[in-house]
Amino acid sequence: MSTIPATLRAPDSSALARVARRFEAQALSALLKPVFGEAPKGLLSGGPAEDQWRPMLVEQHARAWTERGGIGIAASVHAELLRAQAAQAGDGAGGVAGAGNGRAAAPSIARAPVLPASLQEGARR
């Protein structure tokens, strides 16, 4: 009987960078949403249609801002994801490194950093 070794491939640096940029865009979108909600209504405001499309406009502004360098969130998140990935690779058998309790760490399956489902889709692109 032959067995196939179970291996999981960790995301590469460019995929992690994309995920970090998407995270920054979502954070900026959340920060910008109240700003756009407080915009004064004038004679040329879009009425109900403007309210319907505003979230998409805010999202696009946040994405554009992020693609032009953002405010540094993506760089910090990317560095932290790389650090976590390196720490997992250094675990050896996949146990908890440095548990400090004097007992051998229970082996576990090595896995890539856990990301929210909305960000995992971006890492696959």
Residue 102 is given by DSSP the state: S
Confidence of residue 104 (pLDDT cuts 50, 70, 90): very low
Instruction: Supply the pLDDT for residue 124.
Output: 55
Question: Average of pLDDT values for 66-81?
Answer: 93
Are 60 and 14 a contacting pair, CB within 8 Å?
no
45/106: higher pLDDT: 45
Confidence of residue 108 (pLDDT cuts 50, 70, 90): very low
pLDDT digits (tens, 9 = 90+) for 18-38: 999 999 999 999 999 998 877
Confidence of residue 73 (pLDDT cuts 50, 70, 90): very high
Contacts for 73 with CB less than 8 Å, ≥ 6 apart: 20, 23, 24, 27, 28
Are 93 and 100 a contacting pair, CB within 8 Å?
no
